[in-house]
């Protein structure tokens, strides 16, 4: 999978993951890494960018075992953006799929 294609769906994956549960940077990276195999240093600037764009907010959460961690939480605006991205994705996948099927039948 090309890096450009991965980066295209990175926003969708991050927002989707956070729509279920708040999480911290390293955890987000590990999940995304499992799916997309993307480098740590690519994820962090994107989290920072989504905070600035208002899709995410952050808060510090104390942990019983150690120091506080910075948690990311999806905003309402982020959820709306996630819906748009999901629709885009489904349409995109369908279109590509139909094209590939057509090609097979030819």
Q: If binding means CB under 8 A, how many residues of this protein chain bind other proteins? A: 18
Residues 54-73 that bind other proteins (CB under 8 A): 65-67, 69-70
Residues 10-49 that bind other proteins (CB under 8 A): 24-26, 39-42, 44-49
Please give the DSSP secondary-structure letter assigned to residue 54: T
| CB-count burial class (<10 Å; 0-12, 13-18, 19+) for 32 | buried
Radius of gyration of the chain (CA): 16
In the complex with other proteins, which residue's Cβ is closer, 36 or 46?
Answer: 46
**Which residues lie near other proteins (CB under 8 A)?**
24-26, 39-42, 44-49, 65-67, 69-70
């Amino acid at each position: 999978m090309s890096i450009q294609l991965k980066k295209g769906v990175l926003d969708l994956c991050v927002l989707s993951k956070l729509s279920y549960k708040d999480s911290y940077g390293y955890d987000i990276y590990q999940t995304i890494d499992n799916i997309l195999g993307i480098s740590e240093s690519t994820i962090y600037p994107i989290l920072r960018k989504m905070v600035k764009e208002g899709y995410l907010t952050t808060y510090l959460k104390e942990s019983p075992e150690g120091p506080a961690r910075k948690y990311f939480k999806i905003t309402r605006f982020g959820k709306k953006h996630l819906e748009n991205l999901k629709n885009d994705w489904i349409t995109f996948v369908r279109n590509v799929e139909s094209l590939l099927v057509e090609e097979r039948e030819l």
